[in-house]
Amino acid sequence: MNSQKTHILSYTHNELKDLFQQYGLKRYRAIQVLEWVYSKKIFDFSLMSNISKEDIALLTENFTLELPEIEKKLVSQDGTIKYLFRYSDGATVESVVMDYDYGTSICVSSQSGCKMGCVFCASSKVPFSRNLEGYEITAQILKAASDSNKNISRTVVMGIGEPFDNYDNLVNFLKIINMKEGLNLGGRRITVSTCGIVPKIYEFADLGLQVNLSVSLHEVTDKERTAIMPINKKYNIEQVIKACEYYFEKTNRRVSFEYALISGKNDTDEHAMRLCSLLKNVMCYVNVIPVNPIDKKSAHQNSKNLSGFCAILKENGIPVTVRRELGRDIDAACGQLRRQNDN
């Protein structure tokens, strides 16, 4: 995006008031601009009819509301929409809009590409390009809402990239979408997913946000988890779980552990019992994910032990849900995002 101008989406209401004043604009212009952007989905200063021509000229000269371009848009049979967005420097990401009984949710990306190398995730198949700025993450929501004409009421940072590998921009994004003058998304309507960067889990917990934390676990021993998630070499399962316990202590929010069930790999009754042992004293949920293929060569098989696996967890007092699959026919389901325009 344009680096010569200041992006409006980078600032809270109070920050924008101070900034406008520095540029010779009245402080009340901040709330007017924010209303046009977040409520009316207007991203052209010249269309803001309650702002004087002189101030529009100042805004146009010094600020930008640039959004990414839609490179590609796919619509699933179930109504899920997948966008490939391209920023002005050529960086691309994918975002997914999903309808549920409780409202419309968007899965946004935090990086263009990913460094984590998880073997079951399509995002690891493309090179890391760069971190996204906070405003670039917010822009995904606004662009998708404007294009789809949907009222997006929930956000999951679970697309391409590891959010805690882009920590400062993630926090800026959360602050912006949470403010009442903006998207006004409460913490409980926001979920941040991580593969388990332990120091950042502690740092995030200390912010005291009411954001839902989701941790990709997917295995029950360090040897098995390291084989599919290289991050486990640095932060093992015990360290991850201790950090998640701290998160609950600080926020009173249960952590969700993601577990992609792969036939013959991590879906046996023994795996289920081991998972129960790991989590027996942890205030958490387990979100079981039917595994999704990421390409023809490495397509894993869905587990036939889904009901049995979940039953063991329930019998041992572990709250468990099975993720509803949306957008699989357009490669928009969990683990399938790859920021490519040829999928």
- How many CB atoms lie under 10 A from the CB of residue 280? 10
- At 310, list the tokens: 């979940």
- How many CB atoms lie under 10 A from the CB of residue 53? 8
CA distances from 218 to 25, 29, 287, 289 (A): 52, 49, 10, 9
- How many CB atoms lie under 10 A from the CB of residue 168? 10
Q: Is 121 a catalytic residue?
A: no
Q: What residues are paired with 112 via a beta bridge?
A: 130
- At 106, list the tokens: 């968007």
Asked if 104 contacts 152 with a C-beta cutoff of 8 angstroms, the reply is yes
Q: Is 276 a catalytic residue?
A: no
Name which of 92, 84, 236, 110 is nearest 163 in CA terms. 110
Among 107, 114, 121, 334, the one annotated catalytic? 334
- At 235, list the tokens: 């932060």
Sheet strand arrangement including 103-108: 69-75, 81-86, 92-100, 103-108, 152-157, 190-194, 212-216, 255-261, 284-290, 320-322
Among 66, 94, 136, 162, the one annotated catalytic? 94
Catalytic residues: 94, 334
